[in-house]
Chain A
Amino acid sequence: MKRKEVWLGLLAAFILGIFLSPFASQSPDGLERVAGDRGFLQKEEENPAFRAPVPDYQMPGIGDRKIARALAGALGVAAALGAGYGLARALKKKD
Chain B
Amino acid sequence: MHLPDGFLSAPVWTSCWGAAALGLSVCIRKTQEALQEKMVPLMGVMCAFVFAAQMLNFPILGGTSGHLLGGVLAAVLLGPCAAVIVLACVLTVQCLVFQDGGLTALGANIFNMALIGTLGGYFVFYGVYRAFGTRKGFFVAVALGAWISVVLASVACAFELGLSGTVELKRVLWVMAGVHALIGAGEALITAFVVEFVARARPDLVAGLQGKTSL
Please tell me the number of chain B residues within 8 Å of chain A, measured between CB atoms: 71
- List the one stretch of B15-23, B46-54, B119-127, B133-141 in contact with chain A: B46-54
Q: How far is the CA of A29 from the CA of B93 in the complex (A)?
A: 19
**Least CB separation from B55: chain A residue:** A21
Residues of chain B within 8 A (CB-CB) of A48 are 4-6, 99, 102-104
A44 within 8 A of B: yes
Interfacial residues of chain A within 38-81, with CB under 8 A of chain B in the complex: 38-40, 43-45, 48-57, 69, 72-73, 75-81
Q: How far is the CA of A40 from the CA of B40 in the complex (A)?
A: 42
The smallest beta-carbon distance between B185 and chain A, in angstroms, is 12
Is there contact, CB below 8 Å, between A80 and B48? yes
Residues of chain A within 8 A (CB-CB) of B26 are none
Given contacts A43-B166, A45-B5, A80-B89, contact A2 B41 (CB under 8 A): yes
Given contacts A45-B5, A84-B48, contact A29 B66 (CB under 8 A): yes
Is there contact, CB below 8 Å, between B97 and A77? no
B195 within 8 A of A: no
Is there contact, CB below 8 Å, between A34 and B176? yes
Residues of chain B within 8 A (CB-CB) of A57 are 55, 98, 100
Q: Which of B7, B85, B202 sits near A43, CB closer than 8 Å?
A: B7
Which of A16, A29, A53, A56 is the most central at the interface, judged by chain B CB atoms within 10 Å of its CB? A29
Is there contact, CB below 8 Å, between A20 and B56? yes
The smallest beta-carbon distance between A62 and chain B, in angstroms, is 14
Residues of chain A within 8 A (CB-CB) of B85 are 84, 87-88, 91
**Least CB separation from B172: chain A residue:** A38
The interface of chain A, by Cβ under 8 A from chain B, is 1-2, 5-6, 9-10, 12-14, 16-17, 20-21, 24-31, 33-35, 37-40, 43-45, 48-57, 69, 72-73, 75-89, 91-92, 94-95
